Amino acid sequence: MSIDYRVIGHPGRDNALFLKIISGHAVDHLLFDCGSCIDELSSSEITSIDHLFLSHLHLDHIAGFDTFMRHNYNRGKDVHVWGPQHVAGQIHCRFLGTTWNLVGEESLTCWQLNEILPQRLDKYILYSQESFLNRHFVASPSFDRTIDRTIFSNSKFQVSAFLMNHQIPSVAYVVEECSRQNIDMKVLKESGWNPGAWLQKVKDSTSSGTEKISLGEKTYSLEELRKTLLTTTRGQKIAYLSDFLLDKNAEETLISAVKNADILVCESQYKQEDLELARKNYHMTAKQVAHLAQKANVKKLILFHVSQRYPHLEYGKILEEAQEIFPATSFPDNWEFI
């Protein structure tokens, strides 16, 4: 398994993060925020998106939603949208702003709108068959989000969400691949055991550990073979942080949340000399973000979502401020002029 990531959008304009989580059998596509930069994705990429995660609904983070909706309203499989409180109502209003009288006989598509609240997830459903007129509420059990921040998980990855302060709730997201277990081929060779179908049972956690396997003149339990042959590989971890005040409380939460992340994609709206402006507008500076990356021991920091107030000639200064603290900092690869 692996995660392929791409920051889309030009410097000083709308930005978003597009992820492909690649397993041996399938690819899951995730999009974080949906500004006008979604036009950089191909039609096939947009229709492949399984989950749209919105940090909040300021215009630069949602301006491309009509494009997303146009490609996916009748694609015939569920569409999942995630965001803070009121996201379901706001997305529903966008559907109500369009006339859908011709969609009733097209492919049935279910839009699942998930609101991330401090103590629960609220789910609403829109159906293309109903011309998106009705927003159905699906009750969700409450849970203590100070302990469990996971909002979605399957056999391949999980997504955690953290409510931050942008004068309104803004969601920070962390994506983690599930750890995977593989056969240590060196140990297998040294043991003198011949590969075969039995190895699949060793890897299959649903098989009972007490089951016996005969290898050569000896018999072993699956549990014994697993202890001998299996190695655990940690999956990749990518964090997406955009638009909020990075105060002491936020930093404490995020140091733990993004700890040891492979990639931290984070807004860098302001230079350090404009710290007070950053605080006033509930944003971050490059220097603040670099300190966070350093304390959380991430491998790589990617800065994006830089304020339009700075001419491109000043971007080098923003990058230098971060690199002085956290050398493994860069802008997105497609920002070629930097």
**Within a domain: 65:** yes
**Could you say which DSSP state residue 168 is in?**
S
Higher-confidence residue: 80 or 107?
A: 80
Residue 1 has pLDDT above 80, yes or no: no
Please tell me whether residues 171 and 198 are part of one structural domain. no
Identify whether 60 is a catalytic site residue. Answer: yes
Please tell me whether residues 84 and 171 are part of one structural domain. yes
Whether 146 and 133 have beta carbons less than 8 Å apart is answered as no
- φ/ψ of residue 261, rounded to 5: -65, 145
Q: Give the alpha-carbon dihedral of 30, 34, 37, 43, to 10 degrees.
A: 60
Q: Which two tokens mark 143? A: 């849970």
Please tell me whether residues 250 and 189 are part of one structural domain. no
Which residue, among 309, 302, 307, has the nearest Cα to 282 in the 3D structure?
307
Please tell me whether residues 88 and 160 are part of one structural domain. yes
Percent of the chain predicted with pLDDT > 90: 70
Mean residue pLDDT of the chain comes to: 91
Q: Of 53-67, 98-112, 180-194, 316-330, which range is least confident?
A: 180-194
pLDDT of residue 145: 63
- Structural domain that includes position 147: 1-179
Q: Which two tokens mark 242? A: 């955009």
Residue 181 has pLDDT above 80, yes or no: no
**Within a domain: 239:** no
Please tell me whether residues 8 and 105 are part of one structural domain. yes
H or E segment to which residue 289 belongs: helix 286-296
Task: Report pLDDT digits (tens) over 84-142.
Answer: 999 999 999 999 999 998 886 677 889 999 999 998 899 999 999 999 999 999 977 77
Which pTM was predicted? Answer: 0.88
The number of distinct structural domains making up the chain is 3
Of the residues 14, 28, 33, 60, which is catalytic?
60
Q: How are beta strands 2-8 and 16-22 bridged, if at all?
A: antiparallel
Please tell me whether residues 269 and 162 are part of one structural domain. no
What is the average pLDDT across 325-336? 93
Kindly indicate the confidence band of residue 225, based on its pLDDT and cuts at 50, 70 and 90.
Answer: confident
- Give the span between the Cα atoms of 220 and 183, in whole angstroms: 16
Burial of 297 (0-12, 13-18, 19+ CB in 10 A): exposed
Kindly indicate the confidence band of residue 147, based on its pLDDT and cuts at 50, 70 and 90.
Answer: low
Please tell me whether residues 36 and 161 are part of one structural domain. yes
**Within a domain: 213:** yes
Please tell me whether residues 186 and 291 are part of one structural domain. no
Please tell me whether residues 112 and 260 are part of one structural domain. no
Kindly indicate the confidence band of residue 207, based on its pLDDT and cuts at 50, 70 and 90.
Answer: low
Alpha-carbon distances, residue 209 vs 121, 178, 216, 219, 231 (angstroms): 36, 21, 19, 13, 16
Kindly indicate the confidence band of residue 20, based on its pLDDT and cuts at 50, 70 and 90.
Answer: very high
Whether 68 and 81 have beta carbons less than 8 Å apart is answered as no
Task: Report pLDDT digits (tens) over 41-51.
Answer: 999 999 999 99
**Within a domain: 321:** yes
**Within a domain: 41:** yes
CATH code of 278's domain: 3.60.15.10
- Residue ending a domain, choose from 160, 179, 198: 179
Please tell me whether residues 264 and 286 are part of one structural domain. yes
- Residue ending a domain, choose from 157, 179, 201: 179
**Within a domain: 327:** yes
